Amino acid sequence: MDMQMAERLQEALADPFDIAGHQLFVSASIGVATTPAIDPDTILRDADTAMYQAKKSGRNRCAAFHPGLHEQTSRHLRLASELHGALERNELRVFYQPLLSLTSGEVTALEALLRWEHPSEGMLFPEEFITVAEDAGLMPAIGAWVLLEACSQTAGWTQDHSGLSISVNVSRHQITEELIGHVQSALATSGLSPNQLVLEVTESAVITIANVAVLERLREIGIRISVDDFGTGYSSLVQLQELPVDELKIDRAFVQRLAGTDADAAIVTSIIELAHTIGLNAVAEGVETVAQAAAVRSLGCDSGQGFLWSRPVGSSSVPALLQRLKNPELSGRSLPSSGARGATPL
Residue 340 lies in a domain: no
Pairing status of strand 247-250 against strand 281-284 = parallel
Average pLDDT (83-109) is 95
Q: Kindly state whether residue 170 falls inside one of the protein's structural domains.
A: yes
Q: How far apart are CA 257 and CA 69, in angstroms?
A: 33
Q: How far is CA 76 from CA 70, 134, 162, 194, in A?
A: 10, 12, 42, 36
Q: What's the pLDDT score for residue 264?
A: 75
**Residue of 222, 115, 233 lying closest to 172 (CA atoms):** 233
For residue 229, which amino acid is it? D
Task: Kindly report the CATH number assigned to the domain that includes residue 125.
Answer: 3.20.20.450
Rounded average pLDDT over 23-30: 79
In the chain, how many domains are there?
2
Cα–Cα distance measured from residue 83 to residue 138, given in angstroms and rounded to the nearest whole number: 8
- Highest-pLDDT range among 23-27, 70-74, 305-309: 305-309
Do 178 and 304 lie in one domain? The reply is yes
pLDDT tens for each residue of 37-56: 667 877 887 887 777 777 76
User: 202 and 148 share a domain?
Assistant: yes
The whole-angstrom distance between residue 30's C-alpha and the CA centroid of its chain comes to: 23
Q: What is the pLDDT of residues 214-261, one digit of tens each?
A: 999 999 999 999 999 887 665 555 677 778 999 999 999 889 888 766
CATH of the domain at 26: 3.30.70.270
The CA distances from residue 137 to 30, 95, 160, in Å, are 21, 23, 38
DSSP 82-106: HHTTTTTTT-EEEEEEEEEETTT--
| Average pLDDT value for the chain | 85
124-168 pLDDT, tens digit each: 999 889 989 988 899 999 999 999 999 999 999 998 888 899 999
Question: For the chain, what's the residue count?
Answer: 346
Question: 76-90, 113-127, 304-318: which range is least confident on average?
Answer: 76-90
Give the residue among 138, 155, 169, 159 at the shortest CA–CA distance from 312: 169
**Domain span at 27:** 3-67
Q: 45 and 127, same structural domain?
A: no
Considering only residues 131 and 71, tell me which one the structure prediction assigns the higher pLDDT.
131
Q: What are phi and psi of 135, to 5 degrees?
A: -65, -30
> Which pLDDT band holds residue 337 (cuts at 50, 70, 90)?
very low
